C-alpha cells in the first residue's frame, strides 16, 4: 500500500480554510454561510449537512477520482479561511489494487500522479510535488518546523494587482523598528498573549526559530509618505490559532509608533491577549514551508 506525500499551493481567498467543514443545513436551522463558500458538488458524510469549499475537500475529491478509491487526505496545517499556502503538506495511502483498476502503484511514478490530480483541480489550487514516503509518515506529528510570511503594503494608495495576497495599511511603518521588536520573539516563550481565545491547546509555550522584517519600496502615485511592501518571515516549532496574524498585528503597532520594541517582552510576560496588537486579516498570511526529519 504505497503512501504519497503531496506538496500543495493555493490561493486561499475563496476557500473556507484547509480543513473539511460540514455545517448544519440552513434549511434545517443551521447558520447560512456565504453562498460563494458552499460547494454543492462535494459529498457530505452526514444527512442534513452542507459541504463548504475547503482545500482538503477539493483536493481529496480529486485524489479519489484519480486512484478510484475512498482515500483520506491528511494535511499538516489547518490554515484559516482566506490564508494562502506555497507548500502545504498532505498525505494519503493507496491500496494499489491493479486487478480492480484502483489505486496508484509506485511503479507508475509521481509525475503522472501530479498531472492527473492537477487536471481535476480548480485554478486556485495546485499540486507542486509528490513523493513516495514510508507507511509511518504523518504530516502533523512528523512536522519539525514551519515557516510563514505575512505581507503588508504600507501606502497612501490601496494596492490593486496583489490585493488578494497582501494586507494594506494606510499608516507609514518603520521596518527597522519592527525588525528590532521581532528579535524579542525568538526563542521559547509562552505566547498566550498572541493566541486567539479558544485555541484549544494544552500549552501555549512555543519556540520561534527566527523572525525578520524586510521591506522594499514600491511604485505608487505620490502621497504623504513613500509606499513600501513589508514582509514578516517567522519560523518555529509550531503555532497557535491566529498566532502569526496577532504577531504581525503587534509588529504593525510597533511600526506605526504605538508600541516600542521593549514592549514585546512585557506583552509576552503578561500572557494577556488584550495587551498585544490586533489580529490582522488573513489575506496577508501565507504558509511558506514545512520541514520534516
Q: Round to whole Å and give the CA distance between 76 and 173.
A: 33
Domain 3-133 architecture: 2-Layer Sandwich (3.30)
Question: Residue 241: which residues within 8 A CB-CB, separation 6 or more?
Answer: 195, 196, 198, 199, 200, 201
Same fold, 3-133 and 144-292: yes
The single-letter DSSP state of residue 26 is G
The mean pLDDT value of the chain amounts to 94
Q: Where are the domains of the chain?
A: 3-133, 144-292
Long-range (24+ apart) CB contacts under 8 A made by 70-73 are: 73/6
Q: Could you tell me the pTM of the whole model?
A: 0.94
Half-sphere exposure of 185 (CA within 13 A, CB side): 30
Q: Report the top-level CATH class of 144-292.
A: alpha beta
pLDDT tens column, 72-93: 999 999 999 999 999 999 999 9
Task: List, as one string, the DSSP characters of 87-117.
Answer: EEEEEEE----GGGT-S--GGG-HHHHHHHH
What is the C-alpha separation between 107 and 111, in angstroms, rounded? 11
Burial class (CB in 10 A: 0-12, 13-18, 19+), 245: buried
pLDDT of residue 96: 67
Which residues belong to the active site? 80
The string of pLDDT tens digits covering residues 31-51 is: 988 888 889 899 898 899 999
- Model confidence pLDDT, tens digit, residues 133-178: 999 999 999 999 999 999 999 999 999 999 999 999 999 999 999 9
Amino acid at each position: 500500500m504505497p503512501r504519497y506525500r503531496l506538496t500543495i499551493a493555493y490561493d486561499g481567498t475563496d476557500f473556507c480554510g484547509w480543513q473539511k467543514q460540514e455545517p448544519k443545513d440552513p434549511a434545517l436551522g443551521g447558520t447560512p454561510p456565504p453562498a460563494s463558500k458552499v460547494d454543492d458538488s462535494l459529498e457530505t458524510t452526514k444527512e442534513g449537512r452542507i459541504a463548504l469549499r475547503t482545500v482538503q475537500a477539493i483536493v481529496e475529491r480529486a485524489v479519489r477520482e484519480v486512484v478510484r478509491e475512498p482515500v483520506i487526505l491528511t494535511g499538516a496545517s489547518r490554515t484559516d479561511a482566506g490564508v494562502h499556502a506555497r507548500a502545504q503538506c498532505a498525505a494519503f495511502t493507496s491500496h494499489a489494487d491493479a486487478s480492480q483498476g484502483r489505486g496508484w502503484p509506485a511503479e507508475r511514478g509521481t509525475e503522472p500522479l501530479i498531472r492527473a490530480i492537477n487536471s481535476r483541480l480548480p485554478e486556485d489550487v495546485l499540486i507542486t510535488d509528490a513523493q513516495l514516503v514510508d507507511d509511518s509518515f504523518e504530516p502533523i506529528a512528523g512536522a519539525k518546523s514551519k515557516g510563514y510570511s505575512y505581507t503588508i503594503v504600507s501606502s497612501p494608495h490601496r494596492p490593486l494587482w496583489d490585493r488578494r495576497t497582501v494586507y494594506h495599511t494606510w499608516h507609514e511603518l518603520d521596518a527597522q523598528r519592527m525588525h528590532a521588536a521581532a528579535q524579542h520573539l525568538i526563542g521559547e516563550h509562552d505566547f498566550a498573549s498572541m493566541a486567539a481565545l479558544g485555541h484549544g491547546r494544552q500549552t501555549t509555550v512555543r519556540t520561534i526559530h527566527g523572525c525578520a522584517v524586510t521591506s522594499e519600496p514600491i511604485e505608487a502615485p505620490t502621497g504623504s509618505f513613500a509606499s513600501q511592501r513589508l514582509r514578516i518571515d517567522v519560523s518555529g516549532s509550531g503555532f497557535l490559532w491566529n498566532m502569526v496574524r496577532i504577531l504581525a498585528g503587534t509588529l504593525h503597532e510597533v511600526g506605526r509608533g504605538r508600541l516600542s520594541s521593549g514592549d514585546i517582552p512585557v506583552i509576552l510576560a503578561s500572557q494577556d491577549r488584550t495587551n498585544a496588537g490586533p489580529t490582522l486579516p488573513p489575506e496577508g498570511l501565507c504558509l511558506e514551508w514545512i520541514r520534516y526529519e
